[in-house]
Amino acid sequence: MIRFNTLFAILFTVIINAGASSITDTIIIKSDIGSEKITSDLDSLVNSWYVKLALQNNPGIFSNDTAGIQYSDSVYKNRISRINSIIKLNYNSIIKNHIHVYTIRQREQFSAVLGLKDYYFPMIEDVFDSYGLPTELKYMAVIESALNPNAVNRYSGATGLWQFMYSTGRMYGLTINSIVDERRNPLKATHAAARYMKDLYNIYHDWILVIAAYNCGPGNVNKAIRRSGNKKDYWEIYYRLPRETRGYIPQYVAAAYALNYYPEHNLRPLPLNIPVATDTIMVNKDIHLTQISEVMKIPLGELRALNPQYRTGLVPGSSKPLALTLPLSHLGDFIDLNDTIRSYKPDIYLNRATQIADPSRSAYLPADVKGKTKLIYTVKDGDNLGFISEWYRVGLSDLRYWNNIYRNTIRIGQKLVIYVDPSKSDYYSKVDTMTFASKQSMIGKSTPATIQSDQTVTAVETDNEYITHTVRYGDTIWDIVRMYDNVTTSQVLSLNNISDPQKIQVGQKLKIKKKS
């Protein structure tokens, strides 16, 4: 039997030899890839504070809206060719379908994006220009988050305007903890995204591949290039890329089109009352957004929208000076009322022990938390976070987030919260009472219905010189090294013949020299 990939390759060759004008003209399979994400992001945006307020203040704004206009392929192709961009923008049937998502199927929600662009795009352009990046990369923010700084990917936990994963955000200098999540800070996240894109361009020297790698990671793009015979054209490696990334470039081109030609589709920006004139002031003492709201009579929703990085509403300025964004018209009053604001109900609003994050603004909610069983594990002598994540088969970044652990330091007797599949909760509930050897023997085994007793389990660790570490979702080489206080990054890379620390993969086995 001919495998599907082989059959596709034969058909693909036949199509090209039959006279197709370009590779992109032949890519018509699964043309809706990624459109569900666009729809999800746009639906989420409608629940943001400024958008909800605009819809409340403008009831029936879309009651006379037309159904949308479709144009011929030649019109779309011609318009795309006239967009000012040093990034090559192709046109094909996939891109056409994504254009229709913005201009027809989700046109009302897309009007909210149009209302936000005048607030976010100037800031993004300014940052990108300072890094020497093409400013048209700003369109990526539309397909990443629909310009929603509070966006959270329900599958991966990627967060913010630029959808940073926990590990990548930390790698590019963003603070992420239970009170502050700078992935939600539009300015800081944009600087981090610019640095990341610049690093990717230094690898590929091709902006389309940079955009693809931003979505799925350089490891997946490199793999697609190798499997395609070292071809470095996006459309030639298209079917070697992850499914979501196949839709990512078409989404980018469609977003660029829709943001440049929305008037031709009878689209208009939703009138959002965002204060374009804002300013930031550094605070070096704790202050709560609710204190500011109640004393200065500024809507709390507006303060949260302008300062989305403060998850609980607390601005912990006593830890280090932090930026507070306010409408320019209120800045003078804030300076004058500073002491009054801080003295307003401090026992309620400045008590960190009582700060609870608003669930709707959670910094990182891994998809497997909802509906899962919560277990408690007590840290014992010899434990580390890497071992514990292996025993429970959870991501290291998840484990850190659930327990507000910023590095990898844990102490004996500490209680850790862990979420597991309910069908396996009986299996994992016994881990807390097992011996270290029994827990180590669980690594790499499938989960049985019941767990064996300590007397019948033997450890699989037979190498007296090395520990085997299995790379988990969210791990970086630097995270792994910090778990073991007797090794360095260079030692781990050398021992495992790794030349590029960015290329470790989930499930990869790494040898770690035991402490002597």
Q: Where are the domains of the chain?
A: 69-265, 278-361, 367-460, 463-516
Q: What is the DSSP track for 357-401?
A: --GGG-S---TTSTTPEEEEEE--TT--HHHHHHHHT--HHHHHH
Coil, strand, or helix at residue 232?
coil
Helix axes 186-204, 218-227, angle to 10 degrees: 30
Question: What is the per-residue pLDDT across 450-473, written as a single tens digit (0 to 9) for each?
Answer: 333 333 332 223 356 777 887 765
Per-residue pLDDT of 253-269, as tens digits, reads 999 999 999 999 999 99
Q: Cα(299)–Cα(167) distance, rounded to whole angstroms?
A: 34
Q: Between 44 and 159, whose confidence is greater?
A: 159
> In 3D, which of 142, 160, 159 has the Cα closest to residue 106?
142
Q: Check pLDDT > 50 for residue 319.
A: yes
Given the candidates 3.10.350.10, 3.30.470.20, 3.90.180.10, 3.40.50.720, the CATH classification of the domain at 463-516 is 3.10.350.10
Q: What is the CA radius of gyration of the chain?
A: 26
215 alpha carbon, distance to own chain's centre: 9
Mean pLDDT of 164-187: 91
Q: What is the mean pLDDT of residues 278-299?
A: 92
Above 50 in pLDDT, residue 357? Answer: no
CA distance 33 to 36: 8
| Residue carrying structure tokens 């009878």 | 266
What is the rounded CA–CA span in Å between residue 252 and residue 142? 8
pTM: 0.65
Q: What is the fold, at CATH topology level, of the domain defined by 367-460? A: Membrane-bound Lytic Murein Transglycosylase D; Chain A (3.10.350)
Residue 454 has a CB neighbour count (10 Å cut-off) of 14
Provide the pLDDT for residue 510.
85
How far apart CA 169 and CA 171 sit, in angstroms, is: 5
Please tell me which residue, 432 or 49, carries the higher pLDDT value.
432
d(CA 50, CA 347): 30
Task: Indicate if the pLDDT at residue 100 is higher than 60.
Answer: yes
- pLDDT (0 to 100) of residue 264: 94
The residue ranking higher by pLDDT, 314 or 508, is: 314
pLDDT at residue 415 greater than cutoff 80: yes
**HEC secondary structure over 15-51:** HHHCCCCCHHHHCCCCCCCCHHHHHHHHHHHCCCHHH
CATH code assigned to 69-265 = 1.10.530.10
Tell me if domain 367-460 and domain 463-516 are identical in fold.
Answer: yes
pLDDT at 294: 92
Angle, in degrees to the nearest 10, between helices 248-261 and 73-81: 80
Q: What is the H or E stretch that residue 269 is in?
A: none
Q: In terms of pLDDT, which residue wins out, 170 or 257?
A: 257
Over range 348-375, report the average pLDDT: 59
How confident is the model at residue 82, as a pLDDT? 96
Query: Which band of pLDDT confidence, cut at 50, 70 and 90, is reported for residue 184?
Result: very high
Q: In this model, does residue 438 exceed pLDDT 80?
A: yes
Cα 207–Cα 363–Cα 194 angle in degrees, nearest 5:
20
Instruction: Give the span between the Cα atoms of 169 and 163, in whole angstroms.
Output: 9
